[in-house]
Chains A and B, each alone.
Chain A
């Protein structure tokens, strides 16, 4: 399996202190700014794709990994939760703003020997 792309995103939950919400938003932010056109143009199937998601939040134990996995339409994502992200305390109002960092990696079994760069033709 070869990694084709790493997508990065950030998500926040401003008032609820909900790590799962922040993580889901981070994943959507990560995947929403790019599109892998090569499935269509090179004839790969989405079923061959493997997706690895890593979420960084200050309290990884409070993230619902299944809810995070549901944000991805395909690729049977494997979700890993680690300590990371950032919390911003509002001491005046006793509230915490939760920031999640998400990485989404897509892997595909690409056979490099099956592809080559086209040689410019002389009659072009």
Chain B
């Protein structure tokens, strides 16, 4: 079954005055993550560190986002950060620059599969399933 999508979280972040795309992106990721509390690892008996986290950031100038700073927001799990052209820049009325909006989408996955033949006759686990148990 391999990489299995469990949830999608979405958030929005802004930089009002400093024109900082990284800050807007970090706030968008925090907004997405801290609105929800996910308990998949507990429910399925996995480790939190087994979580695979794919972050997509949309801002008007993706080249100006510090990928590592965005990744550093994650409390655990393996993160990948994709920077895309999106979000929204809004011109300030006095022409002094832009207000930045960043969109974040976070996909939480596990590399998981069903345990074969659970509860059906075959009680002796093979070497592979034994290896998977902690």
Contacts and interface: CB of A to CB of B under 8 A. Distances in A.
Contact of A6 (B10, B36, B131): B36
Contacts of B118: 113-114
Contacts, number: 99
A80 B25 CA distance: 35
Nearest to A2: B43
A117 B8 contact: no
Contacts of B39: 2-6
A108 B43 contact: yes
B45 A115 contact: yes
Interface in A45-78: none
A38 B35 contact: no
Nearest to A8: B35
Contact of A37 (B8, B45, B133): B8
A36 B40 CA distance: 11
Contacts of A37: 5-8, 107
B6 A36 contact: yes
Contacts of B111: 117-118
Interface residues of B, number: 38
Contact of B7 (A8, A30, A38, A119): A38
Contacts of B32: 33-34
A41 B43 contact: no
B128 A33 contact: no
Nearest to A38: B6
B42 interface: yes
Contact of A118 (B7, B36, B42, B113): B113
Given A41-B4, A114-B115, 19 more contacts: A2-B42, A4-B43, A5-B39, A7-B36, A8-B35, A9-B35, A33-B11, A34-B7, A34-B10, A37-B7, A38-B40, A112-B45, A113-B115, A113-B118, A116-B115, A117-B46, A117-B110, A117-B132, A118-B111
Interface of A: 2-9, 30, 33-38, 40-42, 108, 110, 112-119
5 contacts: A5-B7, A37-B8, A115-B112, A116-B112, A117-B112
Interface of B: 1-2, 4-11, 31-32, 35-40, 42-47, 50, 107, 110-115, 118, 128-129, 131-133
